[in-house]
Amino acid sequence: MEKQFVARGVIPPMVTPLDPDRRLDAAGLSRLVEHILSGGVHGLFLLGTTGEATDLDYDLRRDLVRRVCDQVAGRVPVLVGVTDTVFDESVRMADWARACGAAAVVAAPPYYFAAGQPELLAYYRRLADALPLPLFLYNMPSQVKVSIAVPTVVALARHPGIIGLKDSSGNIGYFNACRYALQDDPAFSILMGPEEAMGEAVLMGAAGGVAGGANMFPRLFVDLYEAAVAHDVDTVVALQRRVMRISSLIYGIGHHNSSFVKGVKCALSLMGVCGDMLAAPREPFNASDREMVRQRLCELGVLR
Amino acid sequence: MEKQFVARGVIPPMVTPLDPDRRLDAAGLSRLVEHILSGGVHGLFLLGTTGEATDLDYDLRRDLVRRVCDQVAGRVPVLVGVTDTVFDESVRMADWARACGAAAVVAAPPYYFAAGQPELLAYYRRLADALPLPLFLYNMPSQVKVSIAVPTVVALARHPGIIGLKDSSGNIGYFNACRYALQDDPAFSILMGPEEAMGEAVLMGAAGGVAGGANMFPRLFVDLYEAAVAHDVDTVVALQRRVMRISSLIYGIGHHNSSFVKGVKCALSLMGVCGDMLAAPREPFNASDREMVRQRLCELGVLR
Amino acid sequence: MEKQFVARGVIPPMVTPLDPDRRLDAAGLSRLVEHILSGGVHGLFLLGTTGEATDLDYDLRRDLVRRVCDQVAGRVPVLVGVTDTVFDESVRMADWARACGAAAVVAAPPYYFAAGQPELLAYYRRLADALPLPLFLYNMPSQVKVSIAVPTVVALARHPGIIGLKDSSGNIGYFNACRYALQDDPAFSILMGPEEAMGEAVLMGAAGGVAGGANMFPRLFVDLYEAAVAHDVDTVVALQRRVMRISSLIYGIGHHNSSFVKGVKCALSLMGVCGDMLAAPREPFNASDREMVRQRLCELGVLR
Amino acid sequence: MEKQFVARGVIPPMVTPLDPDRRLDAAGLSRLVEHILSGGVHGLFLLGTTGEATDLDYDLRRDLVRRVCDQVAGRVPVLVGVTDTVFDESVRMADWARACGAAAVVAAPPYYFAAGQPELLAYYRRLADALPLPLFLYNMPSQVKVSIAVPTVVALARHPGIIGLKDSSGNIGYFNACRYALQDDPAFSILMGPEEAMGEAVLMGAAGGVAGGANMFPRLFVDLYEAAVAHDVDTVVALQRRVMRISSLIYGIGHHNSSFVKGVKCALSLMGVCGDMLAAPREPFNASDREMVRQRLCELGVLR
C-alpha cells in the first residue's frame, strides 16, 4: 500500500442523527450530509467520539456508513471510525467501510484495558496489517486513559498503512511535538481535534482539523482553514474568534462528559437539520437547556 | 421480581481460556471450571475484567456462557458480565445468559463516555428495567473513569432488579461507606473485589469476595471466607497472608494494566489447567517472565 | 539510633485551634489536648493534614508544638509533622520538635514537584540522616500527587531512623501490601489513616490508626482499637459502625478538599472545645452548614 | 491601584543558580541575568516553577530577589513568584519584592489542599487586596492539582490589582477560552507558559510568553515574539521549529517531574553561565546525562 491518500483540510466528525426510538434518522442524516458538504469541507469523518460510535449498535453503524458513502458518492473522502475493544470488530468494520467506498479508517486505542506504549505499538501495527484501508491514529486520552506517546507515533508513522494522527488531547505541547517530529514526512497528516485551536494549528503547518462545530457551520471552518493556509493572520484571528464565540455559547450548556455532543445535536435540531436524540443511555437536553441553545443561536444570528 | 437471589461467599471472576489462535479453548475451559468448583466456591463470575470480557468477540462470549452454564448445571449460581458501551448488547447478552441458565448479570458503567452520577442513576435503572435477570453493580473506576457514588448505589439498591455491588476500586473508605449505608438491606450483597482485602471485608460483614486468585487456588479463598464468617481472626490473618504472598509473587510480574490477568493465566498454564493466551491485542508472558512465574509457583509449593 | 520508639494505638491527628484572627487559640488548644487525652489515646500527632500544617505560619507551628509538648508533659508521645517543600524547614521544625520534647516526626513527600521513586528514596534517606528524631513516612497521594511505592517503603524501613508509615491513601491493596512486606519487622509501625478502616486494619495486625474523628470522640477510637487488638470481632463491628455513622453525618457536609477539617472543627466548636476558624484562605462553615452539624451532633447524642 | 503595568513580550522564568552547597551562586546569577537581558527580553520572572521557588529557603529567595532587582536596575520589569501554602508568606514576599523594586508578583493556587473554584475566587481576591504590587494569576494544574477555571479568571480580571494570567497548563482549549473571554480587556495580559506554543499564541493575539528556554537562548524567543507580533508567519514557523528542536533535544533527558529544570541548568552550566546544582532534594544530571546534553548542544551549534 502506498500512502497515496493524504488527508487535508476540514474533516468534520459527523454526529449520528437518531430518531426518538434511537434508530438511524435517515432523512435527517441525508439533510446533514448535504448541509455539511455544502460548506465545502474536504472530507467526512463518521463514527468518531462526536458520532457516539462506541455507543451505537453495530447494525446501525454499518447502515450509517453505507448510506453516507452512497450519498457522498466520492464528492469527498469518507473516513470511518473503527475504535473498538474487540480487535476483530475493528477489522470487520473496516472491511465494511472499504466495501462501501470509504477512503480510510480511524482508530483510538482500545479503551477498557489501558495499554502501555509497547502494547500500543504492537496493537496499531497488528491492526494496520489486518486492515484493508489506510489507518489514522486517534489520540483521545480523556476517553481511553492513555496517550499515544510521541515516540510511538513516530515509530508507527513508518508503517505504510498508517497515514496520520488526529489529536484530540488539546495538549498543545504534545501536538506540536508530534508535528515537529514528523515534519519531514509529507505523507503523514496531523489533524487538530479541538476546533478552538484549528486556526493556529493550520497556520503553523498542520494538515487540517476535525472540527465538531463544522456539523453546524461547515463554511466557517473551511474559510478559517483557507485563511490559515494563505497565512492571512487577520482573517484567521477574526474567524477563530467566531469559533470561540460558538464554543463558549453552545458547548458549555449542560453537564457531564457528553455536553458537547448534546449541544451540537440540539443546535442542529433547532436549525432544522436533524433530531437531537442521543445514543442510549444519554438523553437530549431538557426544555430549559434547549431554550438556552435557541437563544444563543439567535445571538449568533443563526436563528431569529 | 423479588430479590430472591442473594450472592454470598467466594465467586471467582473466571479467566477465559483461549487457544493459540485466540479461539475458546474448550478443553481448558472444562478443566478450569472443574478445578474451580472443586474448591467449594459459592458461584462463578464469567466475563468480568479478569475474563477480558470487553476484548472478546461476542460469539465467543456467548459460546463461553453456554458451555459453562451447561457444565456447571446448577451446582453453583453463574453470574455473567454484560458490561458494554452499547446498551442493547448488554440486554442481548443478558437474554442469552438467562436462556443458558445463569443466575444474575453484572455491569460496570459504560466505559467510553464517562457518565455523571445522574446519568449513572438513569442508566442502571433503565438497564435493570430491560434485563431478564437480577443485576449486580460493578464499581471499577480505574477502567471506566467514574465511580458509582455512594448515594447513587443507595438509590439503585431500592430497585427490585438490582441485587448487589461488586466493588473493585480498592478504596476502603468507599467500600465501607457503601456497606454502612446499606447495612439494613439483607437482600443487597456487597462483594469485595481485590482479594488482598477479602478476609477483613468478610470479617466486618461483607457478603463475600470476587477473588481472581481463586482461579488458581479456590480452596484457599473458600477457607478464608469460612474463617471470616466464623470470626476466627487468627485463621483469617494466616490465610490472608498466604493470599498476600501469592499476590506479591505472581501479580507483579510484567508491566501494564493487564499484568494481573497475564500472571493468573500463565500460572494456570504451568499448573496444567488451561493455556495462557490472551485476547488480542495482548500477548502472554514471554519465556523469561514465564520462567519467573514457574519459579514462584515452586516457592509457593504449587509446582516442584 | 536504635528504633526504640514503636508507635502503637490511636494517635489522633490534632486539629489546630485558631481564633477569629487566625492566631493560635491557646485556651481552645489547652481544652482540646485534655479532651483528647481524657479518651486514653496512645499518642498525639500535630501538624498533619487535619492540622492544616502546610497552611500555618511557621511561628504559629512552633508555638503550637511547644505548648502541646509542655502540656502533654510526657503523658503520651507527641509526633510532629515536618512535611515541607523546603528541605531545611523540615529539619528546622524537627530540631524544634526535639527541643520541645516530641518523640518523632512525620513527613509526607515534598508536594510541589512530584518526585519519582528513586528521588523519594534519596529524599527520605537524606532527611532521616539529617533529623534528630525518628521519622514516620506519610503516604498521602491525594495531596502530594505521588504514592510512596511498596518497594520504596520496604527499602526505607531498613534505615535506622525510619520507624513507620502512616498511610492515608485509603487504598487497601497498597496498605496490605506494605503490611505483608514488612510483617517480620516489629520495629516498623504501619498506621491506618482513614478512620473508616481502622477497626479491620488493627484486627488484621496493623499497629494502630491516625483517626481524625478522635479529636471529637477519643474514647470511641480507643475502645475500637482495644477490641480489635483483643480480636473481639462483634465489638469491632459495632464500634466501627458508630465511626461510619459519624463519618457519614459529619464529614460530608460542605464541599471541596477541606470539608473534613471544616466538619471536625465545626463539631468541636459546637461541643465547646475550641473555635472553628480555619487557616487562610479557608473559611469555616456558614450558618446553615453549621446548623446541619449541630443537628447531626444531636442525632449522635452528643448535643441536646 | 490603576492597572498601569501591562506585561508584554518574552518574560523568561529564570532558573535559580545554586552552588554545590545549594547556596545562591552569586557570580553565576550575575552572569545569568546579563546573559538573559542581552537577548532583549521584556521582563524577568523570578521564583516560578523553573526557578524551583517552593523548594528554596526563604532567606535565599529574598537574597535572590534583592540581587536581581539591584542588578536589573529598571532595565526591564521584574516579576516575583509568591506562590505559597501559607498566606502570610505570600504577602511578606510581595512586600519584600516591592521594597526591592519589583514590578509585579505571580501566584499559583495554594498547592496542598486543592481549592474549589469559590475558594480560589476568595483566595485571589483576598490576596490581591493584601498585596502591595499588581498580581499575575498562575495556572499550573499539573503541580497544584486544580485549574483556575475560565469563569474564575474572568471574575478575577475585574479586580483592579489583578493584571494577568500566566497559563502553564498546555491545554490549548483553556488558553484560548481565557483569551476569548478577556479579549476586550487590554489591561489584562495573558501569557503562554509552554514555549512549544509561544509563536502561535502571540500570532493569535496573546500578550507574550514565559519561555523557560529563554534562560539559554533569550534572543531566539525575542525574535520569535517579534515575528509573531509582525504576523510574519514564515519566520514564526521557522523559529518555532528551532524552539521545538531545543525542546526535543534538551528537555526530555532524564526522568521525573523536574527533568525540564535539570536540562536547562545542565545546559547553562555547559555554556559557562552558571552551575547545575538543584534545590534539595533533587540532584543534577549524572555524568552520562550531562554528556548527552553536551552532545546535543553541539548538535544545536551552541557548543563545539
Chains C and A touch (3+ CB pairs under 8 A): no
Residue owning grid cell 473513569: B145
Q: SS3 of A189, please?
A: strand
Q: SS3 of C235, please?
A: helix
The torsion of the CA quartet D131, D134, D138, D143, rounded to 10 degrees, works out to -30
* Residues of chain A found within 8 Å of residue B114, distances taken between Cβ atoms: 143, 256-257
pLDDT at position B245 is 97
Which amino acid makes up residue D196? E
Answer yes or no: are the C-beta atoms of C23 and C60 closer than 8 Å.
yes
- The b-or-e profile of B96-110 (16+ CB within 10 A means b, else e) is bbbebbbbbbbbbbb
Contact C247 B170 (CB under 8 A): no
Which tens digit of pLDDT belongs to each residue from B49-103? 999 999 999 999 999 999 999 999 999 999 999 999 999 999 999 999 999 999 9
Strand arrangement, sheet containing C135-139: C9-10, C208-209, C189-192, C162-167, C135-139, C104-107, C78-81, C44-46
How many angstroms separate the CA of residue B16 from the nearest CA in chain A?
A: 14
Residue B109's domain is classified under what CATH number?
3.20.20.70
Tally the domains of chain B: 1
> Which grid coordinates belong to D7?
506585561
Is D295 a member of any domain? no
Burial class (CB in 10 A: 0-12, 13-18, 19+), A188: buried
pLDDT at position C255 is 67
Is A247 a member of any domain? no
Contact C256 D119 (CB under 8 A): yes
Is C172 a member of any domain? yes
Which tens digit of pLDDT belongs to each residue from D81-115? 999 999 999 999 999 999 999 999 999 999 999 99
Of D259 and D192, which is predicted with more confidence?
D192
Answer yes or no: are the C-beta atoms of A120 and A155 closer than 8 Å.
no
Is D283 a member of any domain? no
Read off the pLDDT band of B143 (50, 70, 90): very high
Answer yes or no: are the C-beta atoms of A49 and A168 closer than 8 Å.
yes
The mean pLDDT of C139-146, rounded to a whole number, is: 95
Query: What is the predicted ipTM?
Result: 0.96
Contact A170 D175 (CB under 8 A): no
Q: What are phi and psi of B29, to 5 degrees?
A: -60, -45
pLDDT at position A1 is 45
Residue owning grid cell 512552633: C62
Answer yes or no: are the C-beta atoms of D300 and D246 closer than 8 Å.
yes
Q: What are phi and psi of A73, to 5 degrees?
A: 50, 45
How many angstroms separate the CA of residue A230 from the nearest CA in chain B?
A: 37
* Residues of chain A found within 8 Å of residue D243, distances taken between Cβ atoms: none
Percent of chain D at pLDDT above 90? 93
CA distances from C19 to A183, A216, B112, C5, C278 (A): 61, 57, 49, 34, 9
Read off the pLDDT band of B1 (50, 70, 90): very low
> Among candidates A240, A239, A282, which has minimal Cα distance to A261?
A282
pLDDT at position A255 is 67
Which amino acid makes up residue B37? L
Nearest to D172 among A180, A197, A203 (CB): A197
Answer yes or no: are the C-beta atoms of C73 and C39 closer than 8 Å.
no
Residue D4 pLDDT greater than 90, yes or no: no
Answer yes or no: are the C-beta atoms of A90 and B279 closer than 8 Å.
no
Q: SS3 of B152, please?
A: helix
The angle at the Cα of D55, spanning D53 to D60, to the nearest 5 degrees, equals 70
Which amino acid makes up residue D261? V
The D residues from 174 to 203 touching A (CB cutoff 8 Å) are: 174-177, 180-181, 183, 194, 196-197, 199-201, 203
pLDDT at position A226 is 98
Is A86 a member of any domain? yes
Sign of CA dihedral C293, C294, C299, C301: positive
Is C282 a member of any domain? no
> Among candidates C180, C150, C190, which has minimal Cα distance to B246?
C180
Contact B54 A86 (CB under 8 A): yes
- Cβ neighbours of residue C158 closer than 8 Å, sequence gap 6 or more: none
pLDDT at position D3 is 61
Contact A172 D176 (CB under 8 A): no
- Cβ atoms < 10 Å from Cβ of B75: 11
pLDDT at position A256 is 64
Range of the domain at D136: 9-230
Chains B and D touch (3+ CB pairs under 8 A): no
Answer yes or no: are the C-beta atoms of A54 and A18 closer than 8 Å.
no
How many angstroms separate the CA of residue A239 from the nearest CA in chain D?
A: 11
Q: Based on C-alpha coordinates, what's the Rg of chain D?
A: 18
Smallest CA–CA distance from D169 into chain A, residue: A171
Answer yes or no: are the C-beta atoms of B166 and B191 closer than 8 Å.
yes
pLDDT at position D254 is 73
Residue C3 pLDDT greater than 80, yes or no: no
Cis peptide preceding C218, ω within 30 of 0: no
The mean pLDDT of A7-29, rounded to a whole number, is: 97
pLDDT at position D1 is 45
The mean pLDDT of A150-167, rounded to a whole number, is: 97
Residue owning grid cell 445535536: A265
Mean per-residue pLDDT over chain D, rounded: 96
Task: Quickly count helices (H) and strands (E) in chain B.
Answer: 12, 8
CA distances from C41 to B56, C37, C252, D126 (A): 54, 6, 25, 39
Which tens digit of pLDDT belongs to each residue from D65-83? 999 999 999 999 999 999 9
Subunits adjacent to chain C (3 or more Cβ pairs under 8 Å): B, D
Smallest CA–CA distance from C192 into chain B, residue: B172
Answer yes or no: are the C-beta atoms of D106 and D79 closer than 8 Å.
yes
Answer yes or no: are the C-beta atoms of D209 and D198 closer than 8 Å.
yes
Read off the pLDDT band of C281 (50, 70, 90): confident
Residue D257 pLDDT greater than 80, yes or no: no
Read off the pLDDT band of B256 (50, 70, 90): low
Mean per-residue pLDDT over chain A, rounded: 96
Read off the pLDDT band of A5 (50, 70, 90): confident
Which tens digit of pLDDT belongs to each residue from A57-74? 999 999 999 999 999 999
How many angstroms separate the CA of residue D103 from the nearest CA in chain C?
A: 25
Among A185-199, C105-119, C249-263, D15-29, the range scoring the smallest mean pLDDT is: C249-263
Percent of chain C at pLDDT above 90? 93
The C residues from 1 to 40 touching D (CB cutoff 8 Å) are: none
Of A234 and C5, which is predicted with more confidence?
A234
> Which grid coordinates belong to D205?
493575539
The mean pLDDT of C262-289, rounded to a whole number, is: 95
Cis peptide preceding D17, ω within 30 of 0: no
How far separated are the first and last CA of chain D, in Å rounded? 51
pLDDT at position C11 is 98
pLDDT at position A252 is 82
Instruction: Looking at chain C, list the stretches that DSSP marks H as alpha helix, in order from N- to C-terminal side.
Output: 26-37, 58-72, 87-100, 117-130, 141-144, 150-157, 172-181, 198-203, 218-229, 233-246, 259-270, 287-299
Is C296 a member of any domain? no
Of A284 and C257, which is predicted with more confidence?
A284
Which tens digit of pLDDT belongs to each residue from D121-175? 999 999 999 999 999 999 999 999 999 999 999 999 999 999 999 999 999 999 9
Subunits adjacent to chain A (3 or more Cβ pairs under 8 Å): B, D
Residue A2 pLDDT greater than 70, yes or no: no
Q: What is the DSSP letter of A109?
A: P
Read off the pLDDT band of D253 (50, 70, 90): confident
Residue owning grid cell 470487553: B54
Nearest to B173 among C173, C180, C194 (CB): C194
B75 CB near a chain A CB, below 8 Å? no
Read off the pLDDT band of C285 (50, 70, 90): very high
Is A261 a member of any domain? no
Residue A190 pLDDT greater than 90, yes or no: yes
pTM of the model: 0.96
> Among candidates D85, D26, D83, which has minimal Cα distance to D51?
D83
* Residues of chain B found within 8 Å of residue C196, distances taken between Cβ atoms: 172-173, 176-177
Nearest to B112 among A54, A57, A89 (CB): A54
Smallest CA–CA distance from D109 into chain C, residue: C281
Among C9-13, C66-70, D184-188, the range scoring the smallest mean pLDDT is: D184-188
DSSP B36-81: HHTTT-S-EEESSTTTTGGGS-HHHHHHHHHHHHHHHTTSS-EEEE
